[in-house]
Amino acid sequence: MATFTKLASGSWQAKVRKAGVSRSCTCKTKAQAQAWAAEVEAQIASGKVAGLSNKTFGDLLQRYANEVSPTKRSDRFEQYRIESFCEDEIAQVQLASLGPEHFAAWRDRRLKSVSGSTVMREWRILSHACTVAAREWRWLPENPLLRVSKPKEAPPRQRRVHPEEIDRLLLALGYLEGVPPQTGRARVGAALLFAIETAMRAGEICAMCWQHVDLARGLVHIPVTKNGHPRDVPLSSRARALLEVLGVVRNPDDERVFQLKVGVLDAEFRKARDRAMVQDLHFHDTRREALTRLAQKVDVMTLAKISGHRDLRILQNVYYAPDMAHVVARLD
């Protein structure tokens, strides 16, 4: 049975209690509240919504973390994020009362401390959790986030890596090109140069094994990528030379070419960046630098094959940043 209450703000609150299911929603008009209640009652009657007793959104997130997250390559990242979600007040909201207003409030709280891009990364996790709960578990009548306005993401980074900055970083990392690296810090220097030559991601570089390197053909095979599609990356003469030097210090007990974990690479790079007094540079900026350089040598379709982009719009809008002064020189 549905009940409707006019609130002091002038909006209307609808409550539905039927077959052990309880739902509530706040709408601008009574007509909207009545339409929402009729829809929920129809879903309950058709068996699309199961009784949830006192389950909370935190319970939903825990089930998602246990059953869905382990199937993803981003499992560790999701688990960490879900733990932080469960510490937020939204986790205490009962599913019977969960609505768009709770996610709008969560969005506004997060935007006070993190960027819109960070909120959107977290948003995708929450949205998928709600979609699974609605479609497969029947814990929700629908995904409430579909009715909430998304925050604006920050514009793509335009940062490139300048040659003088590379020299300072290599000095801070203790890496001399052509000399076999003897320390983890020096191997980060080799990884930095290799990233600029190949446009490979930090995770791909750290996971690269010798069995996937074919120096004779000048290729590196990446069996597992971010988008799930394997690819072959062509190697420039400089990239091949880097691998040949690394082969001198090849570890028989570790088939990884660079013998680095992503966390170690990131930490050592940040320390070196600060020592070298290089401002606002991320290791991932090497990917933009590499793709912009490669764009001067190959066509866009080949560039997409090298980078692994399946959407050319992302390649163009996010990673490809040509220097128009150089383009002018190519026109004559």
User: What whole-number distance in Å separates Cα of residue 150 and Cα of residue 173?
Assistant: 41
Q: Which of 226, 229, 250, 310 is catalytic?
A: 226
User: What whole-number distance in Å separates Cα of residue 46 and Cα of residue 33?
Assistant: 20
Q: Which of 185, 288, 309, 320 is catalytic?
A: 309
User: What whole-number distance in Å separates Cα of residue 295 and Cα of residue 38?
Assistant: 56
Backbone angles phi and psi of 17, in degrees to 5? -130, 115
Query: What three-state secondary structure class fits 55?
Result: coil
Nearest to 201 by CA among 122, 249, 253, 258: 258
Q: Characterize the bridge pairing of strands 213-214 and 219-222.
A: antiparallel
Is 175 a residue of the active site? no
Q: Which of 201, 273, 287, 288 is catalytic?
A: 201
Residue 239's H or E segment, with its range, is helix 237-248
Is 80 a residue of the active site? no
Q: Are 12 and 5 in contact (CB under 8 A)?
A: yes
Is 238 a residue of the active site? no
Is 201 a residue of the active site? yes
Tokens of 130: 């709600």
Nearest to 203 by CA among 286, 315, 304: 286
User: What whole-number distance in Å separates Cα of residue 137 and Cα of residue 58?
Assistant: 15
Q: Which of 175, 187, 287, 319 is catalytic?
A: 319
Q: Are 208 and 311 in contact (CB under 8 A)?
A: no
Provide the annotated active-site residues.
Answer: 201, 226, 309, 319
